[in-house]
Amino acid sequence: EPEVTQTPSHQVTQMGQEVILRCVPISNHLYFYWYRQILGQKVEFLVSFYNNEISEKSEIFDDQFSVERPDGSNFTLKIRSTKLEDSAMYFCASSDDRGLAGELFFGEGSRLTVL
Amino acid sequence: AQSVAQPEDQVNVAEGNPLTVKCTYSVSGNPYLFWYVQYPNRGLQFLLKYITGDNLVKGSYGFEAEFNKSQTSFHLKKPSALVSDSALYFCAVRDMNRDDKIIFGKGTRLHILP
């Protein structure tokens, strides 16, 4: 069964450092998302991406965050200068239907710890 | 903007008993509604969704949910709980007329007692 894969599974970084989280969505999917979850609690929307551009972003997704689809398979989330409060589990998701009935398929997550 | 409320932080049910996990939503347009389950240290797994048609939808692992437009609810149910159902459950909504993002509730921890 096709799945969304994420790397790394866990990253520890110092405050102020840049971090890149990588995702390989399901191959025929067209819509891509990043969510985050702090301390196993609420799942928060960060950004959605379609046709090589951001389609929607939340207020969490400020200038320190960026996303990119550098080739036909990877979808990355970059945090330019990490803060302590960026510590969370980051989930990538993909969907083959936009704004319609399609559910999101999630990866297993990348745990980011900022010291 | 759309929102989802899960009023219970935790629900405890004895194994074999029916379970209900509550969810209410708010959207300006028509909703697409979803339930996801999360096991410890895992990603979110899709359980079921309501798009249109029958108000009662059936999903994975014997779960079902009932869409109630007048009460703006989408409660998750199962007739007979299993210990293996213990997990964190998230209700989610997408406003089909506005956005492509799905907004999640805060989650309800379901604990099935053997």
Q: What pLDDT, in 10s, does the model give residues B20-69?
A: 999 999 988 888 999 999 998 889 999 999 988 899 999 999 999 999 99
Q: CA B55 to CA B74: how far, in whole Å?
A: 9
Give yes or no for residue A99 having a pLDDT over 60.
no
Give yes or no for residue B96 having a pLDDT over 80.
no
Comparing A1 with B2, which gets the higher pLDDT? Answer: B2
The pLDDT score that the predictor gives to residue B60 is 92
- By Cβ distance, the residue of A4, A42, A56 closest to B104 is A42
The residue-averaged pLDDT of A70-85 equals 93
Spell out which residues of chain B touch residue A44, defining contact as CB-CB under 8 Å.
104
Q: Which of residues 81-100 of B touch A (CB under 8 A)?
A: 88, 90, 94, 96, 99-100
The pLDDT score that the predictor gives to residue A18 is 97
CB-based contact (8 Å) between B43 and chain A?
yes
Q: CA B83 to CA B94: how far, in whole Å?
A: 30
Comparing B20 with A98, which gets the higher pLDDT? Answer: B20
The pLDDT score that the predictor gives to residue B28 is 84
Residue identified by tokens 């048609």 is B53
| Contact by Cβ (8 Å): B51, B105 | no
Q: Which residues pair with A92 in a beta bridge?
A: A34
Instruction: Looking at the complex, report in whole angstroms how far the Cα of residue B79 sits from the nearest Cα belonging to chain A.
Output: 24
Interface test with B, best of A104, A108, A111 (most B CBs within 10 A): A104
